[in-house]
Amino acid sequence: MTFLYVIARPRLVGAEAISKSMSYEIVIGLEVHLQLNTKSKVFCGCSTNFGSAPNTQTCPVCLGFPGSLPVLNRQALELGAKVAIALNCQIAKEIRFDRKNYFYPDLPKDYQISQFDQPLAQRGILNIITGESEKKIKIRRVHLEEDTGKLFHQKDHSLIDFNRSGMPLLEIVSEPDMNSPEEAYLYLTALKSILEYIDVSDCNMEEGSLRCDANISIRKKGDNALGTKTEIKNMNSFKGVKLALEYESKRQAELLEGGKKIIQETRLYNTEKCVTEPMRSKEEAHDYRYFPEPDLVPFDFEESFLEKIHKGIPELPEPKRNRFIKDYRLSNYDSAVIVSDKDTADYFEKCAGLYGNPKAIANWLTGDVFAYMKENNVLIKDLNLKPEHLSDMLKMIDSGVITGKIAKTLLIEIIATGADPRRLVKEKGLEQISDVSLLEATTSQVIRENPKSAEDFKNGKENAIMFLVGKVMQQTKGRADPNKVNEMLREKLKGVK
């Protein structure tokens, strides 16, 4: 439920504290690997279902058998182009692929079909919101490639599952434009939000459909040259990315403070110990010997193909957020929270079409509804609360049929039963009581039973009346109209001098 975390709450934590006190600046660039949700793999017809029995979704092509040849899946290209357009990238005129050569058992051909010097797209922009200000993070490149198989290390041998081999992967590389682990976190959530809007991936970090590597370095504030960077791998949640980067920036700062040098290397994040550990140094880095993939013919992107993709892109989070602020007069915060998830935004707009007070909808949505969703770990699309029902409930509050307090319990009741709120109110007798004759007895009783408070009020203690109102509300199980009760109590206490 990412939408709960969208807005930065600027605070000084770990790494930032260190870097600020020692006047270092953190520089972070992110590489995101995204599994595109195509029906079949990127260079063969095998299914992309997750969780099938090992090696059941394979064929000679994705097993890299000799003599087999790749054929590009147009849907993968389409989804890749969709991402490129959504990230405001320049799309390549010619599509071509390269081979990245390295030996590893999860890579059946011992080369990966990828894109090297001519990626699918370049030079994009992604906006993130830090507090109340915006920051533009530049996207360096977006390219399409094939995924590898998966290794399972046993005691004295390893097993390989090639179901993942040949799944379409989109690599999205940012410029080193982020200056804190928090910004890296915001970049990832903003990116994920866009990717979910355009429906190109499940974006599930646990299932591995979204993976992230980070490059991080630090430098003295004011320095122009970048410091020596390390690459961090093996982070399996957005939170993990942030924690790993906090640890790593602290580690680098401590090294520099101690007069030591940072070694350029790849480090693995240890999720249990919450530390980064060396994996391989630059000297051990591969020479991938990229060269143009001779098995796939380069071809030009047709204008009509791109136009079709363009038309398929819905309103994205950022323009939607601005529109919500303008059209519904929502606050920056409410608007950002609501649009970060497309289903939530759609839900909001449905309600807004049924009920004329968008601010009230936003309050209920981000308040009680989100709280319920979080508590019960349910997504809005699975939530048993029709927009009509929420709107009806809000209308009943406005017209005085129910109190706001009753509405809170009614909401839970609606979600639990899925029933029409008006029917529920009738059946359960939840209508607000504003009839003086019905409240007569209760107000008198409360004054009788709380003589001390009654006396206090009479002696000028204005607050005491609230206590008595509360008592009446309690007696009526929240159904009494609090304004009416207040009025009646004052009248009664004035009369009895």
Partner 1 sequence: MMELNTLTAHNLTELLKKGDISPLDICNSIINRIEKTEKSLAALAHFDKEKALERCGNLSKTAEKGELWGIPIFIKDNICVKDELTTCSSKILKGFKPPYNATVIDKLTGLDAILMGKTNMDEFAFGSSTETSCYGPTRNPWDLERIPGGSSGGSAAAVAGDEAIFALGSDTGGSIRQPAGVCGVVGLKPTYGRVSRYGLIAFASSLDQIGPITKDVEDAAILLKAISGHDEMDSTSADIPVSDYLAGMKKSIKGLKIGVPKEYFIEGMDKEVKNSIKAAIEKLEKLGAVCEDTSLPHTEYAVSVYYLVATAEASSNLARFDGVQYGLRADNIKSMMDMYKKTRKEGFGDEAKRRIILGTFALSSGYYDAYYSKALKVRTLIKTDFDKAFQKFDAIVTPTSPTAAFKIGEKISDPLTMYLSDIFTISANLAGIPGISIPCGFTKNNLPIGLQILGKPFDEETILRIAYNYEQNTDWHKRKPDIK
Residues that bind partner 1 (CB under 8 A): 60, 63-72, 99, 101, 103, 105, 108-111, 160, 287, 289-291, 294-297
Q: Cα separation of 102 and 111, whole Å?
A: 6
Nearer to partner 1, 108 or 176 (CB): 108
Minimum distance, C-beta of residue 296 to partner 1, in the bound complex (Å): 5
Residues 6+ apart with CB under 8 A from 22: 253, 257
Minimum distance, C-beta of residue 80 to partner 1, in the bound complex (Å): 17
Nearer to partner 1, 305 or 333 (CB): 305
Minimum distance, C-beta of residue 361 to partner 1, in the bound complex (Å): 52
Minimum distance, C-beta of residue 211 to partner 1, in the bound complex (Å): 23
Minimum distance, C-beta of residue 200 to partner 1, in the bound complex (Å): 24
Minimum distance, C-beta of residue 216 to partner 1, in the bound complex (Å): 24
Minimum distance, C-beta of residue 92 to partner 1, in the bound complex (Å): 18
Minimum distance, C-beta of residue 379 to partner 1, in the bound complex (Å): 40
**Amino acid making up residue 204:** N
Nearer to partner 1, 147 or 196 (CB): 147
User: Which of 104, 106, 77 has the alpha carbon at shortest distance from 92?
Assistant: 77
Nearer to partner 1, 151 or 441 (CB): 151
Nearer to partner 1, 74 or 329 (CB): 74
Minimum distance, C-beta of residue 168 to partner 1, in the bound complex (Å): 16
Nearer to partner 1, 68 or 122 (CB): 68
Nearer to partner 1, 101 or 130 (CB): 101
Nearer to partner 1, 58 or 276 (CB): 58
User: Which of 146, 229, 196 has the alpha carbon at shortest distance from 339?
Assistant: 196
**Amino acid making up residue 340:** S
Nearer to partner 1, 296 or 393 (CB): 296
